[in-house]
Each structure stands twice: as structure tokens, then as C-alpha cells.
Amino acid sequence: MTFAVFVPPQASHGPLPVLWYLSGLTCTHQNVMDKGEYRQLAAELGLIIVCPDTSPRGEAVPDEKDNWQFGSGAGFYVDATEAPYARNYRMYSYVTQELPALIAREFPADMERQGIFGHSMGGHGALTIALKHPDRFRSASAFAPIVQPSTAGWSKPAFQKYLGEDETAWRAYDACALVEDGARFPEFLIDQGKADGFLDEGLRPWLFEDACHKAGIPLSLNMREGYDHSYFFISTFMDDHLRWHAQRLV
């Protein structure tokens, strides 16, 4: 597994808060490094940014090379239970256990001050991981997240292959279902482009807005006129998210 870590200059004076960025379908750790426009403000705010990959890699890893919504680049931040994927596709454990242990050991990270955010599939990962670990993360936000992957057309087939046919098992990796089942987090921030081609069938942030409203979870949902699903959208509002997290990671 390859990952990226941005360490700002303030780290020379002591440990700094950690902000995890989870990327979307087809991406690696590299996409946000090249297009995310986070370094300048992260340096000013004193934030360590950790960017994991989106799936296991390698010739021995089972894949569907002609399917961009499954396999390589499409781990969906779940721990697969079904053969032949269960051995390698354990992205939930990688992001919540294996990589944090390495970051804590090798970098000047204050693991008592962690936030998490992400884009699309990574937004799904950020929301679900925060809801399952409210004691670990002080802040959570997302750009255009897949809020109900168990029913969305581009994620349901992946859940079937990774997690099996029992849809009750899928609820542990579905932000709307987690809230419905009692998971809680202090507050969320979501930015979503109104011109996003995946909005109506894949993303549907209003479902999460409704779940949060019923559960009494504060959610700031910004519907951005004219913006699509690309990194032009993400980079435009990256500073807003970094400042929002920094305020909660002091």
C-alpha cells in the first residue's frame, strides 16, 4: 500500500493534529496531492494530512479490470467477507487500525486530535468511519459523498461482491443506515455540486440530511450551483473544509 503524508513546518515544535482524506472511485493517494490544493492552508493551520490509497494493489489481488466501480481503485472502505476478496480487501481495517498505528509511530502526529473527510466513495468512507468512531474523530466532512451505498446503483453491486447477499451486513458501511441504527456524531459538513452528474442516482445527500434531521445530528449541507463531481469542485471548497476542521482540532 502506498500513501501520502503532508507534514507542515510546525511539526518541528511538537505533535500536530491529523486530518485524514479518503479518495473516491478510480483514484489513488496521488489525485488529491496533485489537484486538491490543500498544502498552503494546511501549512498555515498546522495540519498533518494523511491520504491513503483506495484499494489494495498488486498482481495477486483479485480484480475486475474492466469495471471501474469494483476492485482496484474501488475498495469502498469496507472489510470484505466474501471469497476471493476477503483476504486483501480490508480497507476499513487498513484505514482505522493498520495505517493509524504506522502514522502514530512514524510521524509527529497528535492522535488525540483527528479529523476525517473525503470525496464521493471517500466521503462515504469518512462519514461511516466517523459514525463508528466518534470517540476518535473530532470532526468529519465530505465532498459529494455516497450517503446510502447499499441502494445506489454504482455501489450496491460492489457491496454484494464484497459483503455477500445478506443486506443487513451492509448497514455497517452505510451512513444513512448507521444513523438510523443509532450511531451518532456531533456534527457534519457536506459540500455538493448541483451540476454533479451522479447527484440524483448515486449521491443523494438529501437522504443523509433527512436521517440526520430525524436523529438530531447537526448537518451543514451546502448545495453549490454549477459545480460538478471533479477536483475543480473539491479544490474550490478545500479551504473551507480545512478551516472547519482546524477549528475543531484545536
Instruction: Say whether 53 is catalytic.
Output: no
Exposure of 111 by Cβ count < 10 A (0-12 exposed, 13-18 middle, 19+ buried)? Answer: middle
Instruction: Say whether 119 is catalytic.
Output: no
Q: What is the arrangement of strands in the sheet containing 188-193, beginning at the earlier edge strand?
A: 4-6, 48-51, 16-22, 109-119, 137-143, 188-193, 219-224
Looking at residue 23, the DSSP 8-state letter turns out to be -
Distance CA 200, CA 209 (A): 14
Q: Could you say which of 55, 120, 139, 155 is catalytic?
A: 120
**Nearest in space to 8 (alpha carbons), one of 17, 23, 52:** 17
Distance CA 89, CA 62 (A): 9
32 and 38 Cβ atoms separated by less than 8 Å = yes
**Nearest in space to 50 (alpha carbons), one of 16, 12, 10:** 16
**Nearest in space to 124 (alpha carbons), one of 181, 242, 208:** 208
Q: Could you say which of 29, 119, 229, 245 is catalytic?
A: 229
Three-point CA angle 175, 244, 193, nearest 5°: 60
Instruction: Say whether 120 is catalytic.
Output: yes
Q: Could you say which of 55, 196, 241, 245 is catalytic?
A: 196
Q: Active-site residues: which are they? A: 120, 196, 229
